[in-house]
Structure 1
Amino acid sequence: MKKLLLFSLILAFSIPQQANAQKKKSKKDKKTAQVAPKPKKSKPSYKTYVNSKTKSDDGLFHVHNNNGKFMYEIPKSHFEKEMLLVTRIKDIPAGLGGGYVNAGSKINTQVVVWEEFQNKILLKVKSYNAVANDSLPIYKSVKANNLEPIIYAFDIKSQNPDSTAVLVDVTKFFSSDIKAISALPSFYRARYKVRRLDPTRSFINSIKSYPKNIEVVQDFTYDAAAPPSNSNTNTITIRVNQSMILLPEDKMMPRIYDKRVGYFSIGNVDYSSEALKADAKRYIRRWRLEPKDVSAYNRGELVEPIKPIVYYLDPATPEKLRKYIKQGVDDWAKVFETAGFKNAIMAKYPPTKEEDPEFSMEDVRYSSIRYVASTTRNATGPSVSDPRTGEILESDIIWYHNHLRSYRNRYLLETGAANPSARTLDTPAEEIGEMMRMVISHEVGHALGLPHNMAASFAYPVDSLRSGKFTQKMGIAATIMDYARYNYIAQPGDKNIRFIRQLGPYDHYAINWGYRKLSWAKTPKQEVETLDKWIEDKADNPIYRFGGQRFDPSAQTEGIGNDQVKASTYGVKNLKIVAKNLPDWTSNQTNNYEDLSELYGELLGVWSRYVGHVSGNIGGVYEYNKKPSQDGFVYQPVSKEKQKESMSWLQENAFKTQDWLLDNSILANIDESGYTNRMLRLQNRQLATLLSTSRLERMIDASVIEPNSYEVIDMVRDLRNGIFSEANYTRNVDVFRRNLQKAFIDRMASIMNSKSPKHSDINSFVRGELESLNFQLTIAKNRRVNRMTKYHYRDCLAKIKQILDPK
């Protein structure tokens, strides 16, 4: 019995403990189960994104398309490789940018790299504004103070089967409003009151991959309260092209820029410099031309380049125009021979599908000349270059269909007096073709790296442009890169004249300077001594001078000849003949007045240009770019005699009423009114030019360095006396002169109220001239003139009083 009781007690104590132990164990197991790591999810396989239903395009990256979802398959070997991302407007709405933006316009160019970080692929912008040799300690500081911005971070979706490439989805990136690659800059957004990108009306049009580039076309639609056209839609739709181009790993040796020879350029700040400051460096933009046979090239023989510059014509180019476009490119081949290269540049007709099924105008390996069906009257010569070296990688020249109409009109207006074949709306096909050929040559020049050289037309004596022998050999300007389109100087009776521009001696000089291979030089700096010598050997010859269009009257757009007064005298003389015959050459032939109206408007523009060339002499300063080793000054004011001669010419040919422009047989057939306002706008433009603050300040400064200068106070007095010449006599003032005289007073008021420095002499002489004018008109209003003239003088006096004493 005792044994049984003992057993029962042991059992009673042991069972709860075991149960409790089991309970504790269960809780522990449960707790352990809760904190146990979940099994990792495996990434979707490659076949999830790339399978039999996927449309794939091989090239720089494999691009995969799954019903509008786009994947980039990025080779890991391409991480950190530098690529150029170029954003262009492919198609634009009418009126965008006020008509000054064209389809094909480049909006942004930036160097990018793809970089792996954790489980992301980063697209980063790499800047070359600041550089340093990566072997120097300062390189770390340059990197630290120029942190590269991240445009976008992509999730890695998967890897290809052999793990040599990653897959990222780029759909959202290219269908979102990413500011870094937007073709609608902030100032357009503000102007057109853009509210947002509408994702329901925006999409990726296409993505195509080529061996060295990827081309993305995006269609973006924005909600905009004030669109440039179709205002009732409150919408802007724009088509954007993104080009991503692999930059060469074998960098071209750059050539140091020199402003004495015209080249587009790229620049950066080099912190590797041994100077006591960061060294700003600038290199010219040019194609990479390497001779096939270096030894023969060094001996002075003509040698073909390893890779010539080739342009392909757009298949959309009309058949009848193709030969002229091709000639416009091929004409440069002779110029490159000056630099030692034969067959260096050429144009080719586009291959057929059978000849090259892979050919595409978007492929960066092919430069092209696009023919655009547009009412725009223009042509452009853009190119894409490596920002590290200036190497031009590709170029797409654009010709707009209506551009030939501008050339036909100007051919008639500027040469019609001396050139019988220009006196028609149906310009002979060969002459139109020659004009097109020269426009293409001009745009090719831009694509080769050459900017406008407006000083080249000043190299030739005016009377030489009336010589058939001279113009046939030398053309009408020293370069095709000037805006010297036609010979408007040649007079009726001059024989065998060349009227259309052509390539000139400066083009040969500039191409040789920029493209000749100096095989012995291993660094850009080693070339400089030779390049300097080439410039200085020709420094005294105006044919080889480069000049930019700013304050220099010898570098004006559309001018020809080395004497603006003489050239414009010939030009106006010819224009008077044209104006007299304009109805016979237009409306009398077509039996409508549309062409007469268009050409009369453009004739006023031509007259205004001739006047503007002479205005440029007033307060003008010649700029002769030099290095200190050369003799003479860089800046030289126009002589007092030339400025006074120009002022007399302007009074006679611009500010005096030009009755020859007021032919009733034209005006009474093209508009019911507006003649006086139109003339005032043109005269007022010249007035504002002469009385611009910057010009007046230049004249004040010129008096410091040139004792015998044309003083600003004398210029304003001469201008006032000429414009108000009737006030010195008993003469009535016609409506055109009344308008001009009031415009003079308004312009003087504008100067008084401007933000020019208060300590400047400008306000002093303006006040003095207005007081003199007040005295002059006070006497004139009492003379025996007609009622309108009296009212006009009283009005002028009231204006002057308000300016001098606004209280």
Structure 2
Amino acid sequence: MKNNHFLVALFFFSIATTGAQTFEKTKDFQKFNGYFNFYYDDTSDKVYLQVDDLEKEFLYVYSLSSGIGSNDIGLDRGQLGNEQVVYFKKAGNKLLLVQPNLKYRANTQNNLERKSVEQAFAKSVLHGFKIEEDSKGSYLIDFTDFLMRDAHGVSNRLKNTKQGSYSLDLSKSALAFERTKAFPKNVEFDVTLTFKGNPTGDWIRSVTPNPDLVTVAQHHSLIELPDDNYEKREFDPRCGSYPFSYYDYATPVQEPILKRFVTRHRLEKKDPNATISEAIEPIVYYLDNGTPEPVRSALLEGGRWWNQAFESIGFKDAFQLKILPDSADPLDVRYNVIQWVHRSTRGWSYGSSITDPRTGEIIKGHVSLGSLRIRQDFMIAQALMNQPFAERDDNYQPMLEMALARIRQLSAHEIGHTLGFAHNFAASTNNRASVMDYPHPQLKLDGDQIDFSNAYDTGIGEWDKITVAYSYMDFPDGADEKEAMIGILKKAQDDGLRYISDQDARPRGGAHALGHLWDNGRNASDELANVMELRKVAMDNFSIDNIRSHEPNSVLEDVFVPLYFFHRYQTEATSKLIGGLDYNYAVKGDGQRVVEPISASSQEKALETILMTLHADKIAIPKDKLGLFPPRAIGYQSTRESFKGRTGVSFDALSAAETAADMTLGLLLHPERASRLIQQKSMDKSQLGLEKVLDETIQESFGVAHKDSYWSQVQGTINYRVLYHLMNLAAHDKVHPQVNAIAIKSLKDLKTRLLSNGKSPVSVDTVRRIDDFLKKPSDFKVISAPKIPDGSPIGMDCMN
């Protein structure tokens, strides 16, 4: 990544009309001199591009310079589109913009062999341009239509998210020259596009002044490709990097045809033989200069943690983080950027990049940080603190400090993605070994107070040093690079560092014992017990003094939501131990554990712990807190992050418990987990098995009685959720048939149990439901519980 041009950017940005004119047509046009020269005719509002080199590859990137502001729709300010290697090819009286197929190639000196692969797979012609003028081998084309199109797919995104049918209205669209610039190695075009249509979704209505007309700005970049001196580095599934891959048909038959390499920035020591050396070209990132304090300082501090990892492999000041100059455009390819992005709801932050599709070299890192995330972290701290506003309303500093600690970690995390690194969701089980995990606040009890001092980590992790070493180590002359990289991974293994990424960490049906989202602790069961105790203390302490003076109680209810569901992610982690596995991304000869089931004792402990979350005395909102939550005040309507219920305007305590129980049961009795339990029991009779899981679940729900009438009703609500999930397993068509059989047996046993315990209205109704189900299981449909409020950032696109 080249960053040394920005100080002279304005010098190269030319909108001069002086100098020799190449084309007769352009003599009265405004000229921009750069990587491609282009001209603007203000009388026709057209842009003309000068093409000097045919069939010379360059990089084309489209992006959004201003977005829509809805995380659900997913069209953010600064969002990058796909990078594409392209070239111009003459065909008669036109130039074609061609995208070659780089997924399939032949890396050989044999020109005919290369051509045979090129001709075997389709290319894509992105656009055809009529040649307006030809002057000594230079061609002038009208570039306007190419720029004034929906390259980013805004209309398709609005349609696919069910927000309405929209089309581009060119009469309300225009070129935007304040962000259209020319530089020696890149040219940047910006356009204002208006889409007209018929809005059908609430999301688009909520973020536009007139949802019939949606105006955004799209950006187009034409970029010189890097030189050929970049050295690809072989990918290893244990290394923590994202793989870049293509098929090389020139590969000898005995070797794999699919080639995999790590994605990384170019980084070289000035002296590769020195123990410590400056970089020839350091990796420099720039923070959005529109970021406010104290967030700005927190992001700078957290992002700079990465220099610790580069120092550990012998680089001095190889990673730097600065403030973006006021004159710089965040979408300019010359700048690695961290953008502070505003949306109407809190949402995911993500780290993306522009890479060279030929090699996987990262040319530009681009981080998007959602500005509302910090407010959610603040509110979590507000809920957990013991009456923070009892004495004064300006006692916000402790909550702000926890939120800023999270922002520091988030900055490092998302920058890590743009350095080429994937998530490591096993790091939280090993002394927080990586910023590439999703951290849950790590708290401890001090009497009846909660200690926030160690909520989030304060530096780079040991695993992060491994990933940096593997991807960025500049080995001395004569070193065996492959053996050295294997040695890096062997040291990580010897040090007990574990790496588990996205596909093995997701909770629904997930099985890995260590790879979890938003968890803490080496043992998930122990941490769930700890979290439940923290939750109890915080709920006991919770009062009107968790909000400021003169704020309505409706705000208090919103603060209470993340506290009530504080156990949700550790519950997810614990559920994965049941029917769970311990495995690694092992390769032949590395000596790692390949795969084995979690021990029976660990699974049984996990089951015992998770079933606590189905006990009314553990999960019910304390009765003395219910008087804090009146019907919502005018102007403070409920949102997707509020409790859902069945009682109209009044606060529904039973539905809160029902929602929490349904969360647990959806994890514990997931169909894939049930099928794994069948298989594990068949191979080891001492294992937990599905039958025991169902028996224990029924015992810890239907087998529990409470004298308190409120707790009894809460338990009854929980029991109905157990019933529905049993029926779901009994009727499910994507499980082993043995799962159906065991679940049906459990339902029949439950019926017998209920009949023997008397004829309460609930027992009679439960028996009726079981009988109706057994008559025709195929008619069964799960009765939905009230939806759990959003806990993770809203939306599902990336990635933090």
**TM-score normalised by the chain length of structure 1:** 0.81
1:302 pairs, out of 276, 284, 302, with 276
Alignment CA distance shift 1:414-1:487 (3 Å):
farther
Alignment correspondent of 2:456: 500
Question: Are the counterparts in 1 of residues 102 and 357 from structure 2 also a CA contact under 8 Å?
Answer: yes
Q: Secondary structure at the match of 1:244?
A: strand
Alignment correspondent of 1:73: 49
Q: Secondary structure at the match of 2:204?
A: coil
- Say if 2:199 is the partner of 1:239: no
Bigger relative contact order, structure 1 or 2, given CA contacts below 8 A and separation 6+? Answer: 2
Per-residue deviation, 1:518: 2.7
Whole-Å separation in 1 of the counterparts to 2:767 and 2:403: 54
- Per mean C-alpha deviation after superposition, the further-off stretch among 429-438 and 104-113 is 429-438
Per-residue deviation, 1:767: 1.8
Amino acid corresponding to residue 458 of structure 1 in structure 2: T
Alignment correspondent of 1:167: 140
- Per mean C-alpha deviation after superposition, the further-off stretch among 54-63 and 237-246 is 237-246
Alignment CA distance shift 1:307-1:763 (3 Å):
same
Amino acid corresponding to residue 430 of structure 2 in structure 1: A
Alignment correspondent of 2:270: 292
Whole-Å separation in 2 of the counterparts to 1:796 and 1:383: 54
Per-residue deviation, 1:254: 1.1
Unaligned runs of 5+ residues in structure 1 are: 1-44, 354-358, 461-476
Alignment correspondent of 1:717: 695
1:154 pairs, out of 109, 114, 129, with 129
Per-residue deviation, 1:752: 3.9
Amino acid corresponding to residue 297 of structure 2 in structure 1: K
- Say if 2:381 is the partner of 1:411: yes
Amino acid corresponding to residue 509 of structure 1 in structure 2: I
Alignment correspondent of 1:176: 149
Q: Secondary structure at the match of 1:480?
A: coil
1:205 pairs, out of 151, 167, 176, with 176
Question: Are the counterparts in 1 of residues 367 and 418 from structure 2 also a CA contact under 8 Å?
Answer: yes
Alignment CA distance shift 1:491-1:527 (3 Å):
farther
Per-residue deviation, 1:562: 0.5
Alignment correspondent of 1:217: 190
Q: What do the CA deviations read for 1:26-69 (whole angstroms, capped 9, x no partner)?
A: xxxxxxxxxxxxxxxxxxx96554234x2332222122221263
Alignment CA distance shift 1:348-1:679 (3 Å):
same
Per-residue deviation, 1:437: 2.6
Unaligned runs of 5+ residues in structure 2 are: 1-20, 632-649, 781-800
Aligned 1:356-505 pairs, distance under 5 A: 359-377=328-346, 378-413=348-383, 425-427=396-398, 432-460=403-431, 477-489=432-444, 491-492=446-447, 497-502=453-458, 503-505=460-462
Question: Are the counterparts in 2 of residues 311 and 348 from structure 1 also a CA contact under 8 Å?
Answer: yes
CA RMSD of aligned residues (A): 3.4
Amino acid corresponding to residue 652 of structure 1 in structure 2: M
Whole-Å separation in 1 of the counterparts to 2:297 and 2:380: 23
Amino acid corresponding to residue 79 of structure 2 in structure 1: S
- Per mean C-alpha deviation after superposition, the further-off stretch among 256-265 and 796-805 is 796-805
2:679 pairs, out of 701, 704, 707, with 701
Question: Are the counterparts in 1 of residues 579 and 673 from structure 2 also a CA contact under 8 Å?
Answer: yes
Amino acid corresponding to residue 263 of structure 1 in structure 2: S
Amino acid corresponding to residue 140 of structure 1 in structure 2: K
2:582 pairs, out of 622, 628, 638, with 622
Amino acid corresponding to residue 539 of structure 1 in structure 2: Q
Per-residue deviation, 1:736: 2.5
Whole-Å separation in 2 of the counterparts to 1:402 and 1:229: 19
Alignment correspondent of 2:748: 771
Alignment CA distance shift 1:50-1:190 (3 Å):
same
Whole-Å separation in 2 of the counterparts to 1:730 and 1:429: 40
Q: What do the CA deviations read for 1:643-697 (whole angstroms, capped 9, x no partner)?
A: 1112111222334453663344355425423332232122112211222222122
* Larger helix proportion of the pair: 1
Whole-Å separation in 1 of the counterparts to 2:477 and 2:684: 46
Alignment correspondent of 1:582: 542
Question: Are the counterparts in 2 of residues 752 and 766 from structure 1 also a CA contact under 8 Å?
Answer: yes
Per-residue deviation, 1:594: 4.4
1:51 pairs, out of 6, 24, 27, with 27
Per-residue deviation, 1:590: 5.3
Alignment CA distance shift 1:595-1:559 (3 Å):
same
- Per mean C-alpha deviation after superposition, the further-off stretch among 86-95 and 110-119 is 86-95
Whole-Å separation in 2 of the counterparts to 1:422 and 1:635: 54
Whole-Å separation in 1 of the counterparts to 2:701 and 2:451: 40
Q: Secondary structure at the match of 1:453?
A: coil
Q: Secondary structure at the match of 1:789?
A: helix
Aligned 1:304-323 pairs, distance under 5 A: 304-323=278-297
- Per mean C-alpha deviation after superposition, the further-off stretch among 192-201 and 479-488 is 192-201
- Per mean C-alpha deviation after superposition, the further-off stretch among 372-381 and 409-418 is 409-418
Alignment CA distance shift 1:706-1:338 (3 Å):
farther
Alignment CA distance shift 1:274-1:775 (3 Å):
same
Question: Are the counterparts in 2 of residues 485 and 501 from structure 1 also a CA contact under 8 Å?
Answer: no
Per-residue deviation, 1:485: 4.2
Q: Secondary structure at the match of 1:444?
A: helix
Q: What do the CA deviations read for 1:159-217 (whole angstroms, capped 9, x no partner)?
A: 35xx3532111112222346xx5344478447334253333334443443333323333
Alignment correspondent of 2:798: none
Question: Are the counterparts in 2 of residues 290 and 306 from structure 1 also a CA contact under 8 Å?
Answer: yes
Per-residue deviation, 1:615: 1.6
Alignment CA distance shift 1:380-1:806 (3 Å):
closer
Percent of aligned positions that are identical: 21
Amino acid corresponding to residue 698 of structure 1 in structure 2: R
Alignment CA distance shift 1:330-1:761 (3 Å):
same
Amino acid corresponding to residue 644 of structure 1 in structure 2: E
Question: Are the counterparts in 2 of residues 408 and 427 from structure 1 also a CA contact under 8 Å?
Answer: no
Amino acid corresponding to residue 99 of structure 2 in structure 1: V
Alignment correspondent of 1:465: none
Question: Are the counterparts in 2 of residues 413 and 575 from structure 1 also a CA contact under 8 Å?
Answer: no
Question: Are the counterparts in 2 of residues 193 and 225 from structure 1 also a CA contact under 8 Å?
Answer: yes
Whole-Å separation in 2 of the counterparts to 1:745 and 1:409: 35
Aligned length: 722
Aligned 1:756-767 pairs, distance under 5 A: 756=734, 760-767=737-744
Aligned 1:579-728 pairs, distance under 5 A: 579-587=539-547, 589=549, 591-658=551-618, 661-666=621-626, 668-671=628-631, 672-726=650-704
Whole-Å separation in 1 of the counterparts to 2:198 and 2:255: 48
Whole-Å separation in 2 of the counterparts to 1:742 and 1:495: 37
Alignment CA distance shift 1:249-1:495 (3 Å):
closer
Amino acid corresponding to residue 559 of structure 1 in structure 2: D
Whole-Å separation in 2 of the counterparts to 1:509 and 1:404: 29
Whole-Å separation in 1 of the counterparts to 2:27 and 2:778: 84
- Say if 2:211 is the partner of 1:256: no
Question: Are the counterparts in 2 of residues 539 and 545 from structure 1 also a CA contact under 8 Å?
Answer: no
Whole-Å separation in 1 of the counterparts to 2:317 and 2:599: 47
Alignment CA distance shift 1:253-1:704 (3 Å):
farther
Whole-Å separation in 1 of the counterparts to 2:366 and 2:67: 17
Alignment correspondent of 1:511: 468
Q: Secondary structure at the match of 2:76?
A: coil
Q: Secondary structure at the match of 1:361?
A: coil
Q: Secondary structure at the match of 2:281?
A: coil
Whole-Å separation in 1 of the counterparts to 2:663 and 2:411: 32
Alignment correspondent of 1:537: 491
Per-residue deviation, 1:591: 4.4
Per-residue deviation, 1:409: 2.2
Per-residue deviation, 1:101: 5.2
Per-residue deviation, 1:589: 4.7
- Per mean C-alpha deviation after superposition, the further-off stretch among 423-432 and 246-255 is 423-432
Q: Secondary structure at the match of 1:606?
A: coil
Q: What do the CA deviations read for 1:715-743 (whole angstroms, capped 9, x no partner)?
A: 22222222221489999983323232222
Q: What do the CA deviations read for 1:77-130 (whole angstroms, capped 9, x no partner)?
A: 3x333333333334333546x255533333433322222222211111222211
Amino acid corresponding to residue 537 of structure 1 in structure 2: K
